[in-house]
Structure 1
Amino acid sequence: MWVIQPAGKSRIDALCDPVVVSVTVLDQEMYTEAEAARLLAVPPTTLNYWLEGGERRGKLYEPIVREARKGGHPPVTWAEFVECAWLRQYRRKHQVPMKELRAFITQLRDKLGVPYPLAHARAFAYAGKLLIVEAQEVAGLDPEYYLVAPVGGQMLLTPPAEEYHERLQYEDDIVAAWRPHDDPNSSVLIRPNVRFGRPSVAGISTDVLWEQVDAGASIDEVAMDFGITPRDVRWAVSYESARAA
């Protein structure tokens, strides 16, 4: 564990305590780019651009998620995967210009004092929301693309930001699980230290459960064989069926 002090001494920065970052979790190399793209359901070229930047119309652009290019196709860390999950969710709702997104992430990274600000619960606490509002304004993000909107004296997450936040589970301020299934009631989760970061329910890989049902076993039979509930088996099958569709 190591401590990073928030950058700067602005009024809003002073509202936040130093961040304790679990290097072993956030920096843990999880996936190849191809695997991460498949789990996030985004084109591999899109994911590579988010991570490494690239050339567009003769101009070279910096990465959005990473602070700097790593070169080639290095493994995707847990923190990078989580921030790409935010980009996936946000881009599905808003076609935000990448220039503005890049500026916003850079601003938020500097204000929170961590390389991957959206991998922390702290970004969504009240003081963190204030920092997001400030970062949005400094980055010149159009108000229709805001993550946090001041409403009636409160700092409210916009629908895309709320949908992203609801997919997450935290441990010690850090994202410990992400729900890949679009259904908010689903028990399918991706955890960095469970099944090597593959989608699972109750610690069992969803593809393993789906294969059993696809081979002819009943939901109840599979649940009994693996010692889990029929509900979890149904969610695993629902998730894998949606991916295959």
Structure 2
Amino acid sequence: MSTTIASQDTARWRSRLALPAYHFRDAARYAGVPTRTVTSWHRAAASRPATLPNREPRHSLSYYELIEVAFVATFRRLGISLQKIRAARDYAAQELGSEFPFVQYAWKTEGSHLMLRMQDITGDVEAGKMVAADMRGQVAWEDVVADRFTEFDYQDDIAVVWHVARRGNPVLIDPRVAFGAPSVSGIPTWILKGRWDAGETIRHIQDDYGLPPQDIVHGLRFEGVSDDGVMNGIGCSVPGSC
């Protein structure tokens, strides 16, 4: 019985991954890029031949599309050109039959190249072989390839948790929790911000949700509350002193 319930729960959250849930401006804020970057990438992606039916341009992104934007932002920060990012994505989508290969496969980088395991592309299980997706399959070896994507946790080869404020910060985006809203220990950060805006103190919020004060601080910072305001609200004169 418990196995059946777990399978049903998995099916429910997986079914939400392709549903529009994130406004472009929010996706841009989470990824740390201009809104126009998100809009441009999404429109370009929507114009490609789709491997999933009925894909149309929208004003909101699904979880899959949000995480793809996060990967694009990370690649750009690593100095990889949009041309190479698009080439890698298109190659992987074609070879793997995947609508969102950045989300559904674990990527690494080698210099300015985007790498996938050869096993994912060809089924070749020889250890250590990687494929340069932006060079249409040129082979490299894993010991010279860097794993740069520490902000994502994977389950069944899907980037299912995004440490959106960097690993070590309690703010996460997880489609299994709070319907994929940025959250702290399951409490959406927008709720923390709403309580704060209503004039409640961090102590009051802590009493209701049982969150450590510093986790509430991280959630409020993520929602744009200034450090001065947060620290005054918690009674701390220096960040980290509570």
- TM-score relative to the length of structure 1: 0.64
Q: Deviations over 1:20-44 (max 9, x none)?
A: xx86143232223344334333322
- For 2:96 and 2:129, the matched residues in 1 are separated by 8
CA distance in 1, matches of 2:60, 2:226: 23
Instruction: Name the counterpart of 1:47.
Output: 38
Which runs of structure 2 are paired with 1:151-170 in the superposition (5 Å)?
154-157=143-146, 162=148, 165-170=149-154
Name structure 1 gaps, 5 residues minimum: 1-21, 54-62, 141-147
For this pair of structures, how many residues does the alignment match? 199
Partners of 2:46 and 2:57 within 8 A in 1: no
Look up the SS of the partner of 1:166 in the other structure.
coil
- Distance across 1 between alignment mates of 2:105 and 2:16: 14
CA distance in 1, matches of 2:137, 2:86: 9
State how far apart, in whole Å, the 1-side matches of 2:174 and 2:154 are: 11
Quickly say closer, same or farther: Cα 1:231–1:36, change in 2 above 3 A.
same
Alignment partner of 1:26: what SS? coil
SS in 2 for 1:88: helix
Deviation readout 1:126-159 (Å, 9 max, x if unpaired): 545978633233289xxxxxxx974xx615325x
Aligned to 2:65: 80
Question: CA offsets per residue over residues 189-237 of structure 1, 9 Å max, x none?
Answer: 1122433322110111113224444666443432122122223213213
DSSP 3-state at the match of 2:58: coil
Supply the AA of the counterpart residue of 1:224. D
TM-score (norm 2): 0.65
Change (3 A) 1:212 1:74: closer
Greater Cα shift, 214-223 or 204-213: 214-223
Please say which structure displays the higher CA radius of gyration: 2
State the secondary structure of the residue aligned to 1:136. Answer: helix
Secondary structure of the residue aligned to 1:133 is strand
Task: Find the counterpart in structure 2 of residue 107 from structure 1.
Answer: 91
Cα distance change, pair 149–87 in 1 and its aligned pair in 2 (3 A): farther
TM-aligned CA distance change 1:101 to 1:91, over 3 Å: same
Please tell me whether residue 27 in structure 1 is matched to residue 18 in structure 2. Answer: yes
Any idea what SS the aligned residue of 1:176 has?
A: strand
Percent of aligned pairs with the same amino acid: 27
C-alpha contact 2:68 2:102 (8 A) present in aligned 1: yes
Which of the numbers 184, 206, 225 marks the counterpart of 1:201? 184
Task: Say what the alpha-carbon RMSD is for the aligned residues.
Answer: 3.7
